[in-house]
Chains A and B, each alone.
Chain A
């Protein structure tokens, strides 16, 4: 069977990890509202490297909904921002991965993804919610996003290279 959802277990597992990391992130105090690590994106990066595009998008959807449930923002404007941001990021990362292939690692993909997500979120926030002053917040938001994205990309890459669980899961997994 060559269904894109073949690695069902892996999608569910990564989504669960995203949910768990969302709650971890939620308890870490933030000095400023936009200073977040984006820990929940870690399993997404691993999904990007291991799953088929459609399965990856499903994982992104699960993460967005799961995160909104944890944060209690499912029916607020934050959900719109999160949803648009996550999918912009996912699509950009898929596209660049396809074009660049082996010339880019998860670090670069993660940075491009963060740029897409943060850029679009700022744009929507400026357009719909907060207007012009949004852009005053943009530079530190983007800068911190870039640094944490690079860090997460690095973590994900290292994890991919070392995890035996993941290797077993990808190779089809005898359970």
Chain B
């Protein structure tokens, strides 16, 4: 009669422990706060989304003014011609972004929550 051996049990326990550890890592700090990442010609900045502030970013055309308020971020004024960035309005979800290509400013909301997948296949 062959039984399950000690190392078999050990293998099972290790596997469960590793899965649990990854689950803890993956699901644990999901409620982390969202951040606003602003990329300009002179660097990249991170601000918490839940704050109120106005940031001026210097670009090749002039100053792009970014306003963070009430949990959303928007571009309030820009020196570019089309003003697409201003017209795109406020964004407030992870993964959403506003870009002002003429003035080379990219504003994105980063964070773990609400990452949506379009599709997955195995």
- Seen from chain A, the residues whose Cβ lies within 8 Å of a Cβ on chain B are 33-34, 36, 78, 81, 100, 103-105, 107-109, 111-112, 114-115, 119, 130, 132-133, 135-139, 142-143, 146, 149-150, 153, 157, 161
Report A-chain residues with C-beta under 8 Å of the C-beta of B7. Answer: 100, 103-105, 108
A138 to B27, CA, bound (A): 10
CB distance from B4 to the nearest CB of A (A): 6
CB distance from A71 to the nearest CB of B (A): 10
Interface size class, chain B: 20 to 34
Given contact pairs A78-B121, A137-B120, A143 touches B8 in the complex (Cβ within 8 A): no
Q: Which are the 3 A-B pairs with shortest beta-carbon distances?
A: A108-B8, A139-B23, A104-B7
By the criterion CB–CB under 8 Å, are A142 and B115 in contact?
A: no
**B9 and chain A: residue at smallest CB distance:** A108
A35 to B39, CA, bound (A): 40
A156 to B1, CA, bound (A): 16
Binds A, one of B14-22, B41-49, B59-67: B14-22
Contact sample, A vs B, 13 pairs, CB 8 Å cutoff: A81-B122, A108-B10, A115-B18, A130-B117, A130-B120, A135-B22, A136-B26, A136-B115, A138-B26, A139-B23, A143-B16, A146-B19, A153-B8
CB distance from B93 to the nearest CB of A (A): 15
Dominant SS among interface residues on chain B: helix
Report A-chain residues with C-beta under 8 Å of the C-beta of B5. Answer: 103-105, 107-108
Report A-chain residues with C-beta under 8 Å of the C-beta of B20. Answer: 139
**B12 and chain A: residue at smallest CB distance:** A111
Report A-chain residues with C-beta under 8 Å of the C-beta of B12. Answer: 108, 111, 146, 150
Known: A33-B120, A139-B23. 15 other contacts (CB 8 A): A33-B121, A33-B122, A103-B6, A104-B7, A105-B5, A105-B7, A105-B8, A108-B10, A112-B11, A132-B115, A135-B26, A136-B27, A139-B27, A146-B15, A149-B15
Report B-chain residues with C-beta under 8 Å of the C-beta of A107. Answer: 4-5, 8, 11
| B31 CB within 8 Å of chain A | no
A138 to B7, CA, bound (A): 24
Report A-chain residues with C-beta under 8 Å of the C-beta of B16. Answer: 143, 146
**B30 and chain A: residue at smallest CB distance:** A136
| B2 CB within 8 Å of chain A | yes
Report B-chain residues with C-beta under 8 Å of the C-beta of A132. Answer: 112, 115
By the criterion CB–CB under 8 Å, are B2 and A115 in contact?
A: no
Given contact pairs A133-B115, A133-B117, A139 touches B26 in the complex (Cβ within 8 A): yes
A33 to B117, CA, bound (A): 14
By the criterion CB–CB under 8 Å, are B15 and A104 in contact?
A: no
